[in-house]
Amino acid sequence: HLDSAEATKPDEVREPPFTEAPAQYSFNVPRYFNIQLRAREFAKQQMSHLAWCYSVDIPLHPGDRDLPEDALLQKLQAWLMRHDQDTSHLTSVLPLVKDLPVRLTDSVDRERQLYKGRRGRIYGWTLHPSTLSEEQDDGEVILDRLPLVIYVLFPEATWSIGKLPKGVYPLK
């Protein structure tokens, strides 16, 4: 149970450099679990709202869309098991918290030196106008679709894009 684990965790792991350190795992399951735990802990420490986006896969081919419900469910579950190298390095559950430390999983803009592995922080996001959210008992929110844009701040950057603040990059 997480509450008992919380009580035994040393206070120093709740502060930098531990809270800012990258974590590396050989397998997806512990990595995804760690992403979720760290996002929750970060939101709690910052007293910020935490929103979760779950992947929603829609079959591309009409033949797949017409499958019987149980066959389609099996296909959807298989997609959730795919390695993140097959999904643009996005997890099936994406946490959104303002100022949450993130790393680029791909090179997105060479001109601005936004290469794979570059560190930034979530600055904000723009929700789709039809987004529905469901608040959970713990105050977290589940969004029914990914945001249209996630804005990432790269604090050391000197460039700006349009009317965005210096160092803020819009990821679609």
**98-117 tens-digit pLDDT:** 999 999 988 999 999 999 99
For residue 148, the tally of other CB atoms under 10 A from its CB is 13
Nearest to 132 by CA among 72, 26, 53, 42: 53
Residue given tokens 């066959």 in the structure block: 71
Q: Is the four-CA dihedral 125, 111, 115, 58 of positive or negative sign?
A: positive
Give Dmax (Cα) for the chain: 54
Check residues 64 and 121 and name the one with the higher pLDDT. 121
Q: Which long-range contacts (CB under 8 A, 24 or more apart) does 161-165 make?
A: 165/123
Instruction: Tell me the pLDDT tens digit for each residue of 29-43.
Output: 677 777 888 899 999
Cβ neighbours around 28 below 10 Å, total: 15
Closest alpha carbon to 42 in 97, 105, 116, 85: 97
Q: Which of 27-31, 131-135, 143-147, 156-160 has the highest mean pLDDT?
A: 156-160
pTM score of the predicted model: 0.73
| 18 three-state secondary structure | helix
Q: How many other C-beta atoms lie within 10 A of the C-beta of residue 14? A: 14
pLDDT in tens, 146-160: 899 999 999 999 999
Cβ burial 90-104 (10 Å sphere, 16+ → b, else e)? ebbebbbbbebbbeb
Q: What is the pLDDT of residue 128?
A: 92
Q: Give me the sheet containing 141-143, strands edge to edge.
A: 93-96, 51-54, 141-143, 133-135
- The residues, any chain, with a CB within 8 Å of residue 99's CB and separated by 6 or more, are 46, 48, 121, 122, 123
- Provide the pLDDT for residue 77: 77
Q: What pLDDT was estimated at residue 1?
A: 42
Low-confidence winner among 1-15, 90-104, 131-145, 154-168 (lowest mean pLDDT): 1-15
Higher pLDDT, 12 or 102: 102
pLDDT tens for residues 45-87? Answer: 999 999 998 777 777 788 888 888 888 888 877 776 666 666 6
